[in-house]
């Protein structure tokens, strides 16, 4: 296989960045972001939450959120669509009948506040 020098340099820089990153600090940022989102939606009547870390794939703190469909009159797909069509557009993962999964590892600092506010607004 042929690899050009730009690809080699790109991989080298990505590896260098990963090696020198403060992984413990990054983990704490993710935990804080997920906790902020959880604290925003937890008071909504009928909503239950838990924070788990998957063993495979995106091994980061992950918010599992579900709700009583009789209290929160939205399906998971309805919630996903309202978040997607909002401003700003927000994408959520693993949507089920009355539950979603939210991760924060791709969010920039401060975006967890936007996600938390929108989730609370749509669920309320």
Q: Per-residue pLDDT tens for 70-115?
A: 999 999 999 999 999 999 999 987 899 999 999 999 999 999 999 9
Q: Is the pLDDT of residue 1 over 80?
A: no
From the CA atom positions of the chain, what is the Rg in Å?
18
Provide the 10 A C-beta neighbour count for residue 60: 17
The domain 22-123 is classified under which CATH number: 3.90.1150.110, 3.40.50.300, 3.40.190.10, 3.40.50.720? 3.90.1150.110
Contact 122, 89 (CB under 8 A): no
Using pLDDT thresholds of 50, 70 and 90, give the confidence band for residue 18.
very high
Using pLDDT thresholds of 50, 70 and 90, give the confidence band for residue 58.
confident
Contact 79, 96 (CB under 8 A): no
């Amino acid at each position: 296989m042929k690899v050009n020098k730009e690809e080699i340099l790109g991989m080298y820089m990505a590896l260098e960045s990963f090696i020198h990153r403060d992984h413990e600090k990054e983990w704490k940022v993710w935990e804080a972001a997920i906790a902020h989102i959880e604290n925003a939606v937890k008071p909504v009547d009928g909503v239950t939450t838990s924070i788990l870390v998957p063993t495979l794939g995106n091994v980061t703190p992950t918010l599992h959120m579900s709700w009583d469909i009789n209290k929160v009159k939205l399906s998971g797909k309805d919630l996903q669509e309202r978040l997607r069509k909002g401003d700003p557009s927000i994408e959520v993962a693993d949507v089920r009948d009355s539950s979603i999964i939210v991760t924060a590892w791709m969010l920039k600092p401060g975006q967890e506040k936007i996600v938390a506010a929108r989730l609370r607004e749509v669920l309320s």
